[in-house]
Structure 1
Amino acid sequence: MRTSEAGEAASGNFYDQVGGHETFQRLVDGFYRGVASDPVLRPMYPEQDLGPAADRLRMFLEQYWGGPTTYGEQRGHPRLRMRHVPFKVNPDARDRWLAHMRASLDELALPPLQDATLWAYLERAAHAMVNTFEE
């Protein structure tokens, strides 16, 4: 858990415990640095600028973990599988996504429990997005 300057344990939900907006912004920024040069994942983002995709991911993760509900207000229900249907998400794409996310998560140096909690969710989500086993 994060601690206050006085050394007290942080209270609140997971979003607050890991550092709120700043932490999720750093996670997503690091992730998209990897995606930007990935030959498999980059083509899945039709926008030239990855900024809008990064904003959507950050807002989704923030809402999921107890932060602002901006994602739902702007985009409605996440419908993650439906939103990914147009893209060929095979095990290679999943593994690349996870590798970039792991590298970014490592940069955050979260406490072990929060790191493991967030990583377990990201792994489950990545596996759920696989929609083909074709190369």
Structure 2
Amino acid sequence: MTEMEVMRVCGEDGIRKMVAAFYARVEEDDLIGPMYPKDDMAGSEERLAEFLLFRLGASKRYLEMRGHPRLRMRHVTFRIGEAERDRWLKLMGLAMEETSVPKSARDFLEPFFAQVADFMRNQVSE
């Protein structure tokens, strides 16, 4: 499956619903929730949705709004180790399940999310 095929089966609405389900969990999460801006959860949700739509080839709005993603730079102020990476992946997996992301799209998205989440780590495992 390619990025465009993910968009074909999920659509922009499906990606946005998945991200909304993810953020509903993040807001209540004791480990990664505190990393997110309580006063701008909607903005944070919108930025992730726009990033994913950009990465999946559906829109260039993210680039127009934020420029190059520079993900590590944007997250450097947060302590991200294995536990945080794994929790992020767990919550996103639950969001994909809740919003019925098709298996074919999950088979593409899960390795992508795992690679990006691991790349974001800035803490060495003990």
TM-score computed with the length of structure 1 as normaliser: 0.84
2:8 equivalent in structure 1: 17
Matches within 5 A, 1:64-79: 64-79=55-70
2:119 equivalent in structure 1: 128
SS for the counterpart of 1:99 is: helix
AA partner of residue 27 (structure 1): M
How much does 1:42 deviate? Answer: 1.5
Q: Which runs of 5+ in 1 are unaligned?
A: 2-11
| Larger Rg belongs to | 1
Matches within 5 A, 1:18-97: 18-97=9-88
How much does 1:43 deviate? Answer: 1.2
AA partner of residue 86 (structure 1): T
How far, CA to CA, are the matches of 1:109 and 1:70 in structure 2?
25
TM-score computed with the length of structure 2 as normaliser: 0.90
AA partner of residue 62 (structure 2): Y
AA partner of residue 110 (structure 2): W
How far, CA to CA, are the matches of 2:85 and 2:47 in structure 1?
18
**RMSD of aligned Cα (Å):** 1.9
Runs of 4+ off more than 3 Å: none
AA partner of residue 108 (structure 1): T
How far, CA to CA, are the matches of 1:17 and 1:130 in structure 2?
31
Question: How many residues are treated as equivalent by the alignment?
Answer: 125
User: Which structure shows the higher helix fraction?
Assistant: 2
Q: Deviations over 1:29-64 (max 9, x none)?
A: 010011011112111113423100000000000010
How much does 1:104 deviate? Answer: 0.5
Q: Percent identity?
A: 36
How much does 1:66 deviate? Answer: 1.1
Moved more, 105-114 or 48-57: 105-114
Moved more, 56-65 or 13-22: 13-22
